[in-house]
Amino acid sequence: MSGLRILVGCKRVIDYAVKIRVKPDKTGVVTDGVKHSMNPFDEIAVEEAVRMKEKKIVSEIVAVSCGPTQCQEVLRTALAMGADRAIHVEVDAATYENLQPLHVAKIIAKIAQEEKVDIVVTGKQAIDDDANQTGQMVAALLNWPQATFASKIEKTDGELKVEREIDGGLETIKVKLPAVFTSDLRLNEPRYATLPNIMKAKKKPLVKKTPTDFGVDVTARQTILKVEEPAVRQAGSKLASAEELVTKLREAGLIPS
Amino acid sequence: ATNKLQSRIFKEGLPYILRCRRSFATDVPKITTHYTIHPRDKDSRWKDVNMERFGDDVDVVIVGGGPSGLSAAIKLKQLANAQEKELRVCVLEKASELGGHTLSGACLEPRALNELFPNWKDMGAPVKQEVTSEQFYFLTKSLRIPVPLLPGMPIKNHGNYIIRTGNFVRWLGEQAESLGVELYPGYAASEVLYHKDGSVKGVATNDVGIAKDGSPKETFQRGMEFSAKVTMFAEGCHGHLSKTLFQKFDLRKNCQTQTYGIGLKELWEVDPALHVPGRVEHTVGWPLSKDVYGGSFIYHLAEDAPLVSVGFVVGLDYRNPYLNPFQELQVFKTHPAIVKLFKNGKRIAYGARALNEGGFQSIPKLTFPGGCLIGCSPGFLNVPKVKGIHNAMKSGMVAAEAVFETLTDEDKVSKSETAGLDPVSYEEKIRDSWVWSELKSVRNVRPSFHNPIGMYGGLAYTGVVYYLLRGREPITLSHGAPDYARLKPATECKPIKYPKPDGVVTFDLLSSVALTGTNHDHDEPPHLTLRDDSVPMARNFAVFDGPEQRFCPAGVYEYVETEDGRGHRFQINAQNCIHCKTCDIKDPSQNINWVCPQGGGGPAYNGM
């Protein structure tokens, strides 16, 4: 069944190798001038979409990202990897600080309906908030089946056979299309966005929209009270024998003397 | 003379021979897998791989998106737009974002910026903190003695601005883009391309998807070729492609060897009560001995937080292989007059980069068929002023004028002997500019430190001869031996014991490296290539006790004990590299050849 259309969600996050710093006023983390890149799990999602297109399972890939202007960098990378079109849903920096998975899920669900896509795919979670909610919420809003933590996807007739990574090991399920899936680490190794493709991507359509275009209200539903660094881990001490351990535990009042 | 030779044979040769015997006995493990050392056309794993490259034709390609590269790009477009000429200018930058690999003090002399953008103040340039006060100190272990700055001394900073160079570079990039320059951060130029006539044709960007062992991965893709009429190399100090050009076109035939320093820098948020926005402080003396060139800087700038930029420069002509430049910076911060600034502060950034100290005597031939060198790649840093950005920018601008002339002069183009054009007028233009006269006047300051009383002699020369003659003295002092040849064998030197970090004012190397945000693909060949894998153990470790372990500011090099406990082996932690180039400069065996890793890797400096 050719001609399937796929929508990929991509998030711009602080690069995983950068050391995070809390702002002096404790309202959040420093993002100004800090190196950002596409969420690694979203890269895997884009790669899977491109592979499906190369296998002719999918005929068109639309990439979407919600956030301030710089999100366009992430969309250009997706286009360079093989996406056909991109939609940037612009949210100003202040509102973005309080943008929640539910807001993003509503936007993606609306786009999925408008674009009449058959598959929605995102990374399983973003490395900044580790929420692991957006994909699942999109499925619920659309009332579509979901296959999360996918580590292998095969297409069989009108269905997807998905191998999922779960606590106990691997679970294989079948989901009818249209469906939502979220990508896990072992799904694939993303290709590099090479320079010729980056240059070609500049010519691919990138449309700018706002949440109101999709009828989604992104007013903050929560207030961030405080952001703090985790407490500095106290150094441990090496003990010479079991007897010493017992003495120390007694001194600390952790075992009865 | 024979005595000296005998002594050298004994001190260097004997340990070398002894180690050789041991290293032949225990196999030298393969360390280097990079294709520049093990060519792919002879590698069976690459037999069936398609090595074709996509190519693009542009007018000018600029390697390096720093102050000189961007100034050249901007100037080219300004000239082209003024004459309504089409000009395709591309800038390649190995950092994933402009400013990501930029590190400098810095006190900017706005001279070049005033010429490039006369109304830069209205354009939102991040050049706001004027220098308000300054002092030069001589340090002893317990004292900080102010040294009066006489008018005309090169280190005076009146009229200059304290900037965060990374932010300045980012702003220059925005201006370049709005003028129509094509910027490609995240892509490293890794190979110079040549026409059949030997002139430079352009550059190719790095391949991606090569595994750590040098074999092709599933994701392997070739880089891209940029063919240009003129290629401008703006790689900064000791650029890896520029290094090959010096050899290819013999550009250093009529100049002295380049000499270098390593600059290490930290950014701190300090107690507002101790913060003096616009304050500039430089020191010499402690903790360095009189035989080691170097000193510190402390610059206060007001941003969203009270920031202080603190740094330490050590001349790479030092002789004791036990010297550790990173540790010298840490020790410097503990000086009784200085430590209080950091006691209640918070360190928010760290980084390091090699810098040029050769000055006037080391300026090479700047042009060749198909291209030219600008900025710190040839080297225009004014050492006593501790400034290079203004000269780098001006060299880029002047070269751009020459390149534009060459490109648009149909007569020159048709008469060119080579397919790649040679922008020869750049040499004349830079000699007519203030860069030349400035560097000529201070040419003897740095080499004056090579005397029996080291630093004291140098300071005396600067304070007397320079002060009186401003470079008009008829002699030109020489730098002498290159930096890599300066190390004495470890047996002739005393190990230096550095104190343990306290985690408040001083820190350990690895947590510092973590602050740089540096990272490289874990599965790519180490870009710190060795011409001969056996040399580190056989010579560097045997004779000099492995100085790489101490001069690398990122902990890339280690001599670890072998599993059987009977010896050591050389280990390269390439992922830590912060692209400072010190190892390529200071390796006494000149065995380490730094090549560019995959684009996008390296430090993630933020306004350094």
Nearest Cα of chain B lies from the Cα of A20 at a distance, in angstroms, of: 9
- How many folded domains does chain A comprise? 1
Does residue B457 share a domain with residue B413?
no
Rounded distance between C-alpha atoms, residue B327 and residue B570, angstroms: 22
Q: Is B303 on the interface with A (CB under 8 A)?
A: no
The CATH number for B207's domain is: 3.50.50.60
For residue A257, being part of any structural domain is answered with no
CA nearest to A64, candidates A23, A29, A31, A105? A105
Same domain, B514 and B564: yes
A24 shares contact with chain B (CB less than 8 Å): yes
Dist CA B341 CA B276 (whole Å): 11
* Residue contact B517–A37, C-beta within 8 A: no
Question: B469 and B551, same structural domain?
Answer: no
Q: CB-based contact (8 Å) between B78 and chain A?
A: no
User: Does one domain contain both B49 and B111?
Assistant: yes
Taking the Cβ of residue A199 and every Cβ of chain B, the question of whether any pair is shorter than 8 Å is answered with: yes
Q: Nearest-CA residue of chain A relative to B349?
A: A19
- Residue A1: what pLDDT? 47
The whole-number pLDDT of residue B12 equals 64
Nearest alpha-carbon partner for B345 in B272, B280, B413, B279:
B272
Q: Is A203 on the interface with B (CB under 8 A)?
A: no
Residue B347 has pLDDT above 90, yes or no: yes
Of the partner residues B184, B304, B604, the one whose CB lies closest to the CB of residue A35:
B604
Range of the domain at A116: 4-252
d(CA A110, nearest CA chain B) in Å? 33
* Residues A140-159 pLDDT 10s: 999 999 999 999 999 888 78
Chain A contact for B206, CB < 8 A? no
| Residues of chain B contacting A46 with CB distance shorter than 8 Å | none
Count CB pairs under 8 A between chains A and B: 59
Q: What angle do CA B448, B316, B427 make, to 5 degrees?
A: 70
Provide the percentage of residues in chain B whose pLDDT is more than 90. 83
Please say whether the dihedral angle defined by the alpha carbons of residues B284, B289, B294 and B298, taken in this order, is positive or negative.
Answer: negative
Cβ-nearest to B604 among A17, A21, A192: A17
Answer yes or no: do A33 and B167 touch at CB < 8 A: yes
Query: In chain A, what percentage of residues exceed pLDDT 70?
Result: 99
Do B122 and B223 sit in the same domain of this protein?
yes
Position A158 in a domain: yes
Q: What is the pLDDT of residues B144-199, one digit of tens each?
A: 999 987 777 777 888 999 999 999 999 999 999 999 999 999 999 999 999 999 99
Looking at beta carbons, which residues of chain A come within 8 Å of B187?
A: 195
Does residue B411 share a domain with residue B500?
A: no
Residue B384 shares a structural domain with residue B512: no
- The model's confidence at residue B23, banded by pLDDT at 50, 70 and 90, is very low
How far off is chain B from A19, nearest CA to CA, in Å? Answer: 6
Give the model confidence (pLDDT) of A175-229 as tens digits.
Answer: 999 999 999 999 999 999 999 999 999 999 999 999 999 999 999 988 899 999 9
pLDDT at B14 over 70: no
Look at A195 and B223 and tell me if their CB atoms are within 8 Å. yes
Residues of A in Cβ contact (< 8 Å) with B218? 189
The pLDDT of residue B22: 47
Mutate which of B168, B206, B304, B521 to disrupt the A interface (most A C-beta within 10 Å)? B304
Say if the Cβ atoms of A196 and B56 lie within 8 Å: yes
CB contact under 8 A, B184 and A198: yes
- The maximal CA–CA distance of chain A, rounded, in angstroms, is 76
| Whole-structure pTM value | 0.92
Number of domains in chain B: 3
pLDDT of residue B241 exceeding 50: yes
Residues B512 and B471 in one domain: no
For chain B, what is the mean pLDDT? 93
Same domain membership, residue B49 and residue B186 = yes
Residue A105 lies in a domain: yes
Confidence of residue B403 (pLDDT cuts 50, 70, 90): very high
Q: Assign B175 to helix, strand or coil.
A: helix
Yes or no, beta carbons of B219 and A33 under 8 Å apart:
no
The CA distance from A221 to A102, in Å, is: 10
**Inter-residue contact B580 to B354 (CB < 8 Å):** yes
**Domain assignment of residue B341, yes or no:** no
The distance of Cα A217 from the centroid of its chain, to the nearest Å, equals 21
| Token couple for A120 | 């929605």
In a domain, B193, yes or no: yes
The CATH number covering residue A226 comes to: 3.40.50.620
**Domain assignment of residue B376, yes or no:** yes
CB A193 within 8 A of CB A81: yes
Instruction: Report B:268-297 residues touching A (Cβ under 8 A).
Output: 269
Beta-ladder partners of B93: B185
CB A148 within 8 A of CB A124: yes
Structural domain includes residue B432: yes
Instruction: Answer whether residue B211 is part of any domain.
Output: yes
pLDDT at B6: 62
By DSSP bridging, strand B182-185 and strand B346-356 are: unpaired
**Distance of alpha carbon A93 from its chain centroid, rounded?**
19
Domain CATH code at residue B505: 3.30.70.20
Q: Are residues B422 and B493 both part of a single domain? A: no
- B262-316 pLDDT, tens digit each: 999 999 999 999 999 999 999 999 999 989 999 999 999 999 899 999 999 999 9
Triad A107, A108, A111: Cα angle to 5°: 90
Name, in order, each residue with C-beta under 8 angstroms of A132's C-beta and a sequence gap of 6 or more. Answer: A124, A125
**What integer is the mean pLDDT of B568-582?**
96
| Boundaries of domain holding B451 | 445-480
What is the token pair recorded at B91?
């800038």
pLDDT tens digits for range B449-485: 888 888 888 888 887 888 788 888 888 989 889 999 9
How big is chain B by its Cα radius of gyration, in Å? Answer: 24
Q: Confirm or reject contact between B223 and chain A (CB < 8 A).
A: yes
Pairing of strands B133-139, B54-63: unpaired
ipTM score of complex: 0.87
- CA-nearest residue to A81 within chain B is B219
Yes or no, beta carbons of A33 and B607 under 8 Å apart = yes
pLDDT at B18 over 80: no
Q: Do B305 and A17 touch (CB under 8 A)?
A: no
pLDDT-based confidence at B10, cuts 50/70/90?
Answer: low
Calpha distance B569→B551 (Å, rounded) = 18
Q: Of A17, A192, A196, which has the smallest distance from its Cβ to B517's Cβ?
A: A17
Q: Do A35 and B100 touch (CB under 8 A)?
A: yes
Kindly tell me the burial class for residue B239, based on how many C-beta atoms sit within 10 Å of its own C-beta (0-12, 13-18, 19 or more).
buried
Q: Is B397 exposed, middle or buried (0-12, 13-18, 19+ CB in 10 A)?
A: buried
Digit-coded pLDDT (tens) for B59-107? 999 999 999 999 999 999 999 999 999 999 999 999 999 999 999 999 9
Q: How far is B259 from B383, CA to CA, in rounded Å?
A: 11
Q: Contact A89/A62 with Cβ under 8 angstroms?
A: no
Contact by Cβ (8 Å): B30, B591: no
Residue range B554-574: mean pLDDT, rounded: 93
**A12's tokens:** 């711009």
- In three-state form (DSSP H/G/I as H, E/B as E, the rest C), the secondary structure along chain A is CCCEEEEEECCEEECCCCCCCECCCCCCECCCCCCEEECHHHHHHHHHHHHHHHCCCEEEEEEEEEECCCHHHHHHHHHHHCCCEEEEEECCHHHHCCCCHHHHHHHHHHHHHHCCCCEEEEECCCCCCCCCCHHHHHHHHHCCCEEEEEEEEEEECCEEEEEEEECCEEEEEEEECCEEEEECHHHCCCCCCCHHHHHHHCCCCEEEECHHHHCCCCCCCCCCCCCCCCCCCCCCCCCCCHHHHHHHHHHCCCCCC
DSSP assignment letter at B120? G
The verdict on B499 and B463 lying in the same domain is no
Mutate to test the interface with B, among A15, A189, A195 (most CBs of B within 10 A): A195
Please give the share of chain B, as a percent, with pLDDT higher than 70. 96
Last residue of a domain, one of B443, B464, B493: B443
Of B166, B304, B519, the CB nearest to A17: B519
Q: Answer whether residue B208 is part of any domain.
A: yes
Q: Indicate whether B21 belongs to any domain.
A: no
The whole-number average pLDDT for the span A97-119 is 96
Considering only the beta carbons, identify the residue of B97, B514, B598 that sits closest to A35. Answer: B97
Chain A CB contacts of B518 under 8 Å are: 17
B575 touches chain A (CB under 8 A): no
Nearest to B184 among A21, A33, A195 (CB): A195
Q: What confidence tier does B15 reach under pLDDT thresholds 50, 70, 90?
A: low
Per-residue pLDDT at B24 = 45
pLDDT over threshold 50, residue B1: no
Higher-pLDDT residue of B162 and A160 is B162
What pLDDT score does B532 carry? 95
Which chain A residue shows the shortest CA-CA distance from B93?
Answer: A195
Q: Work out the pLDDT band at B16, boundaries 50, 70, 90.
A: low
| Residue B204, min C-alpha distance to chain A (Å) | 11
User: Beta-carbon neighbour count of residue A57 at 10 Å?
Assistant: 20
SS3 of chain B: helix, strand, coil, percent, to 5: 30, 25, 45
Nearest to B96 among A16, A32, A35 (CB): A35
Distance CA B598, CA B181 (A): 23
